[in-house]
Amino acid sequence: MQLANIQWSSVEEEIARTVFERAYQREITALMQQVRERANAIASLEELWMLHDFLSVRRHEIDGKYEFDQASLIFVFAELLKEGWLQFDELAGLAPEKQTKIAALTRM
Amino acid sequence: MQLANIQWSSVEEEIARTVFERAYQREITALMQQVRERANAIASLEELWMLHDFLSVRRHEIDGKYEFDQASLIFVFAELLKEGWLQFDELAGLAPEKQTKIAALTRM
């Protein structure tokens, strides 16, 4: 599958940014809720450090995932679909070729 | 002030361990409460990462502070007094010389 040098029209880029931002808001809202729940359930220092480790991992993942970069957008959208932060129909408006590639990547 | 090679009798060591453990329980209980409160007040990802940074610092501090080591105990008790995790009268039973040294360090 050819994924390098995929061109994005300005309309597609706008759609991508909107969808990307939406997924980001969903994921961080869920993360903040999860951290609140975990923090409220902490009963030992060990559990507190487990929360710290969890935040270290999530911070690293989120910092890496949500850099808007056309070259990796196809992969990121596939990842966001697999993780449930996006639904496939939210990619409407992207060229069918891009949608096909994203869909294929979600099955890998 | 001569602080190296201070000898601890077995009775003093037992008192020190008890007091040390008590301060530790107080500090981590307060920390867990603080983390719960901070987590419940989080309204943005930036604040979530601030909580992560806070935990990184506190973990480092606590891991370092609560290693029970006779050679550094005088310093650690002075620190715990300054931070409010111990009261001076809880050191009753330690040799007066040790109490004097600890008290002197709290004023530094």
> B71 and chain A: CB distance < 8 Å anywhere?
no
Closest-CA distance, A59 to chain B, in angstroms, reads 7
Q: Are A75 and A69 in contact (CB under 8 A)?
A: no
**Nearest chain A alpha carbon to B34:** A39
Structure-token match 């480092």, residue found: B60
Which pLDDT score is estimated for B71? 85
Percentage above 90 pLDDT, chain A: 83
Closest-CA distance, B100 to chain A, in angstroms, reads 32
* B42 with A36: Cβ contact below 8 A: yes
A100, two tokens: 């096909």
This prediction's pTM:
0.85
Q: What is the pLDDT of residues B50-95, one digit of tens each?
A: 999 999 999 999 998 988 888 889 999 999 999 999 999 999 999 9
> A70 and chain B: CB distance < 8 Å anywhere?
no
Confidence tier at B22 by pLDDT (50, 70, 90): very high
Q: What is the pLDDT of residues A71-90, one digit of tens each?
A: 889 999 999 999 999 999 99
Which residue blocks in A42-72 are alpha helix, DSSP H?
Answer: 45-65
> A50 and chain B: CB distance < 8 Å anywhere?
no
Residue range A39-43: average pLDDT?
A: 95
Closest C-alpha among B30, B37, B32, B34 to residue B84: B30
* B35 with A49: Cβ contact below 8 A: no
Closest C-alpha among B57, B106, B107 to residue B80: B106
Which pLDDT score is estimated for A4? 64
* A42 with B48: Cβ contact below 8 A: no
Asked if pLDDT for residue A69 goes beyond 80, the answer is yes
Q: Work out the number of other CB atoms within 10 angstroms of the CB of residue B45.
A: 19
A7, two tokens: 């061109």
B90, two tokens: 């809880």
CB contact set of B50 (below 8 Å; sequence gap of 6+) = none
Asked if pLDDT for residue B31 goes beyond 80, the answer is yes
Structure-token match 């966001």, residue found: A80
* A51 with B40: Cβ contact below 8 A: no
Closest C-alpha among A91, A47, A33, A93 to residue B43: A33
Neighboring chain B residues of A45 at a CB cutoff of 8 Å: 28, 31-32, 62
Asked if pLDDT for residue A22 goes beyond 80, the answer is yes
CB contact set of A5 (below 8 Å; sequence gap of 6+) = none
| Dihedrals phi, psi of B32, to nearest 5 degrees | -60, -40
Read off the amino acid at residue B30. A
DSSP state, residue A13:
H
Neighboring chain B residues of A43 at a CB cutoff of 8 Å: 32
Q: Is B84 left (phi over 0), alpha (psi -120 to 50) or beta?
A: left
ipTM of the complex: 0.83
Q: Is B45 left (phi over 0), alpha (psi -120 to 50) or beta?
A: alpha
